[in-house]
Amino acid sequence: MGDRVNKLALHGGRPVREAQLPARGHIGSEELAAVSAYMDKVVATGTLGAYQGEEEEAYCAAFAEYLGGGYADAVSSGSAAIYVALLALELEAFTEVIIGPFTDPGGIMPIPLQSMIPMIADSAPGSFNTGPEQIEELISPRTSAIIVPHIAGEPADIGGIMEVAGRHGIPVIEDCAQAHGARYRGQQVGSFGDIAAFSTMSGKHHSSGGQGGIVFTRDERLYQSARRMADRGKPHFLPEGATNMQATLNFNQTDLAAAVGLAQLRKLPEMVERRRAIAGQLIEGTADLAMIALRQTAPEVASSYWFLPAAFYPQQAACDKETFCKSLRAEGLPVTDDYRSGMPHRQTWYTERRVFGSSGYPWASPLYEGDPNREFPCPNAQAMLKSHFTIPLHENWRTREIDDVIAIFEKVAAAYRTG
């Protein structure tokens, strides 16, 4: 170890890891072959398909099979998938949709864009995910749906949430953007709710070529509805003579993207297993460090580790969390001080109600019967932001990276040890 255990890089010492952590490298010869095969076909036939060609059909069928059976429609992004899932449920304007506090802005913005009111449920104590109790507190006669993001790849208590939702007769959308391949009691997330949305953007577990999303459901009627809503309301599956039945946009995914998605999907199970193994080694390798705890999940869930949250215990350390994180970064581990983008309901678009010009709609509409100024302090979520930082990881970390990351934690923890 030599000078590794000595001076912190933050104070001019030599960093544990001088080389940047490796890029994911998750696109390779398989995706290249898929794109070539698709383009060869296009050139040979002289015909460029738009969507719903054999590539998208194959991708959606394989994805549905991966989720244990059902129906999938590939769309243009994860945000679009949420938007389409909400539309597929045919909810009424000025109703309320309950959603967990942590998500991407694209996971919540579709709610007000469809003239419904987002109701922010706190996270469960000690979790980034919302829970059954926090959701039930917000249920009112105006509640029309619940969106459950599974944050960081860690499944929410979807069993408990489905029980609450079922008791009140409210449909559930699972937001699995960050949780491809995660399991709750052995079952894939996305297969519990009425309908689910996935993002297949470049950084997600598997990607359909940079941007993309998938809507999944086990309900054929909802699938058919989703197909219409993702395609300008075209009368797919409706009787002869029906016309475009709903105002929406074109959220279709291209066959080219689907060809990449299918090649990626084949790698997904192994990518998820690798992430689990790496997280397991990091958790074990840092278990003796009193000032941090890398997140251990409940026994009934298997995270797919989009990232790895860690708790910081200031009473065990001679520094604050921010300094600890700065020090980790200086040693070569690019951690984030708290949940990456914070909570979207703290952002300007929400606080200034910027959805439909300066009208303040949907909150300000006389048709909304709830309290338009209701606040959502979310103390559990705030406590998570304060106490946790997040570690990026991916399936292509090898022994060298895992050892370096553990060494970084050991060095920084030793430097800030109390007593």
Ligand X SMILES: Cc1ncc(COP(=O)(O)O)c(C=O)c1O
Residues at the interface with ligand X (CB under 6 A): 77-79, 103-104, 106-107, 149, 175, 177-178, 199, 201, 213
Provide the minimum distance between the beta carbon of 195 and ligand X in the complex, in angstroms, as a whole number: 14
Which of 94, 198 has the CB closer to ligand X? 198
Which of 231, 404 has the CB closer to ligand X? 231
Provide the minimum distance between the beta carbon of 318 and ligand X in the complex, in angstroms, as a whole number: 35
Which of 156, 317 has the CB closer to ligand X? 156
Provide the minimum distance between the beta carbon of 37 and ligand X in the complex, in angstroms, as a whole number: 25
One-letter-per-residue 3-state SS of the chain? CHHHHCCCHHHCCCCCCCCCCCCCCCCCHHHHHHHHHHHHHHHHHCCCCCCCCHHHHHHHHHHHHHCCCCEEEEECCHHHHHHHHHHHCCCCCCCEEEECCCCCHHHHCHHHHCCCEEEECCECCCCCCECHHHHHCCCCCCEEEEEEECHHHCCCCHHHHHHHHHHHCCCEEEECCCCCCCEECCEECCCCCCEEEEECECCCCCCCCECCEEEEECCHHHHHHHHHHCECCCCCCCCCCCCCCCCCCECECCHHHHHHHHHHHHHHHHHHHHHHHHHHHHHHHCCCCCCEEECCCCCCEECCCCEEEEEECHHHECCCHHHHHHHHHHHCCCCECCCCCCCHHHCHHHHCCCCCCCCCCCCCCCCCCCCCCCCCCCHHHHHHHHHEEEEECCCCCCHHHHHHHHHHHHHHHHHCECC
Provide the minimum distance between the beta carbon of 341 and ligand X in the complex, in angstroms, as a whole number: 8
Which of 213, 332 has the CB closer to ligand X? 213
Provide the minimum distance between the beta carbon of 156 and ligand X in the complex, in angstroms, as a whole number: 11
Provide the minimum distance between the beta carbon of 79 and ligand X in the complex, in angstroms, as a whole number: 3
Which of 52, 129 has the CB closer to ligand X? 129
Which of 106, 332 has the CB closer to ligand X? 106
Q: Which residue is nearest to ligand X (CB)?
A: 78
Provide the minimum distance between the beta carbon of 204 and ligand X in the complex, in angstroms, as a whole number: 7
